């Protein structure tokens, strides 16, 4: 819904402005013209100005990884601390129950996606990466966050892989041609070979080749659990047992003895790669990602990581090596909400040695770069699209003023969201 009442050229003024790619500014403004940022700094009194007072302005957040189709859940699936393969079994059961519902409930994926987009936008997210089970209804993303929709590929049997390949290809054969087309302008297609234990090796090679040819991004769950490493090494363990129960395994699907690094070397051939989670990446894999940081990123999902009780995330190691790390909420199947600021705060709490500027970059500029959008969003500088959010700050005295206070105070909520200069959400308080 169009809620903007600002003139074509206007300014937003607040106590602090966090450009992300430049030092914080105090008593500063952002000038917006035609949906673009034209200036950041002191107020020009000749421009109509929206005075926001004791607030901080920053770029719209970028949620680099989620599964919006789970957004109807009120609480995560399974039990906190359970093994990933046991949780996956819960996900499969839940999806089957949802798919068995009669019309109109059978459109549950689109309904959940709309609900998740609305929640994300209220939380200050203006751009996101969503992994979606095909067939995908792209129209449900319309008039909301800019979405890179990674169409999910799952298939270990040759028959299932060929079927899924045809479905994914059909999405890429729908060119955008303007109003009334099946794909809204704010949707970009991507491909998601789900994980090493659900995708044939030859399928992964083919999907990465297609990514390079068609210049579409790839997102893959990798090094998410210790059980995954066992499966790749020996073809045995909890994942193999689950696949056998599901009748989803063929002996030639995945060569034995592979490592996460072998997968990274194939993924490096894609146009752009998002490595989802990377909880158990070894040093050689981290070094490889650092060497390919121009086209490869890792997406860390802090609260999902905590939900499964994984070993401490190697965040300091990744950042020190030069890996680009973005943040994601993952889904409501493993996270109580889609509020990316809560994940930002989890990082700030658990990694106090990491400076606040870097943490904020992970939720903005790094996420935009992971999706290939860093030239247009993720920071506040002239020429960028005016995706801007305002957070109300606590009433500190001038001597206690801290532009990053919102990282420590969960009462600080998003008060305004601008997307391309248009006010799309207002509300919230601190």
* pLDDT at 105 (0 to 100): 59
Class of domain 9-59+378-426: mainly beta
Q: What is the CA radius of gyration of the chain?
A: 22
Among candidate residues 146, 137, 198, 144, the one with its CA nearest the CA of residue 170: 137
* pLDDT at 182 (0 to 100): 64
* pLDDT at 202 (0 to 100): 96
* pLDDT at 430 (0 to 100): 45
What is the residue extent of each domain of the chain?
9-59+378-426, 61-370
Residues 6+ apart with CB under 8 A from 320: none
* pLDDT at 369 (0 to 100): 98
Give the pLDDT means over successive 10-residue stretches in the chain (430 positions).
68 96 95 96 84 95 98 96 95 93 78 97 98 92 94 93 88 55 82 96 96 95 96 94 92 94 98 98 98 98 98 98 98 98 97 96 98 96 97 70 87 94 80
* pLDDT at 386 (0 to 100): 97
* pLDDT at 167 (0 to 100): 86
Q: What is the pTM of this model?
A: 0.94
Distances (CA, A) of 101 to 77, 88, 358: 19, 20, 45
CA distance linking residue 233 with residue 352, whole number of Å: 35
The domain made up of 61-370 is a member of CATH 3.20.20.140: yes
């Amino acid at each position: 819904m169009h809620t903007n009442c600002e003139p074509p050229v206007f300014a937003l003024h607040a106590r602090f402005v966090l450009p992300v790619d430049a030092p914080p500014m105090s008593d500063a403004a952002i000038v917006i013209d035609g949906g673009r940022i034209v200036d950041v700094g002191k107020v020009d009194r000749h421009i109509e100005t929206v005075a926001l007072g004791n607030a901080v302005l920053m770029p719209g957040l970028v949620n680099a990884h989620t599964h919006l189709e789970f957004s109807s859940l009120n609480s995560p699936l399974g039990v906190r601390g359970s093994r990933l393969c046991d949780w996956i079994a819960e996900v499969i059961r839940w999806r089957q129950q949802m798919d068995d519902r009669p019309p109109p409930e059978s459109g549950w994926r689109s309904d959940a996606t709309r609900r998740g987009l609305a929640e994300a936008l209220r939380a200050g997210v203006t751009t996101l990466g969503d992994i979606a089970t095909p067939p995908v209804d792209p129209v449900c993303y319309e008039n909301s966050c800019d979405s890179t929709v990674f169409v999910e590929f799952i298939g270990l049997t040759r028959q299932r892989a060929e079927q899924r390949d045809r479905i994914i290809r059909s999405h890429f054969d729908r060119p955008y041609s303007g109003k009334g087309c099946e794909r809204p302008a704010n949707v970009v297609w991507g491909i998601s070979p789900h994980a090493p234990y659900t995708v044939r090796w030859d399928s992964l090679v083919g999907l990465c080749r297609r990514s390079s040819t068609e210049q579409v991004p790839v997102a893959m769950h990798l090094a998410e659990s210790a059980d995954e490493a066992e499966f790749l090494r020996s073809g045995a363990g909890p994942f193999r047992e689950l696949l056998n129960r599901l009748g989803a395994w063929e002996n030639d699907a995945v060569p034995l003895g592979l490592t996460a690094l072998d997968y990274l070397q194939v993924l490096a051939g894609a146009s752009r790669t998002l490595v989802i989670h990377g909880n158990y990446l070894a040093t050689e894999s981290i070094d490889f990602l650092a060497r390919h940081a121009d086209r490869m990123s890792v997406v860390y999902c802090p609260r999902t990581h905590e939900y499964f009780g994984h070993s401490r995330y190697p965040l300091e190691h990744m950042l020190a090596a030069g890996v680009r790390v973005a943040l994601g909420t993952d889904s409501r199947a493993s996270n109580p909400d889609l509020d990316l600021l809560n994940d930002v705060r989890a990082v700030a709490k658990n990694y106090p040695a990491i400076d606040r500027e870097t943490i904020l970059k992970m939720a903005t500029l790094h996420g935009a770069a992971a999706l290939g959008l860093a030239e247009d969003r993720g920071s506040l500088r002239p020429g960028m699209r005016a995706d801007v959010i305002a957070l109300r700050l606590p009433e500190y005295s001038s001597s206690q003023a801290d532009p990053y206070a919102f990282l420590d105070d969960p009462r600080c909520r998003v008060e305004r969201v601008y997307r391309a200069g248009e006010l799309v959400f207002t509300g919230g308080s601190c």
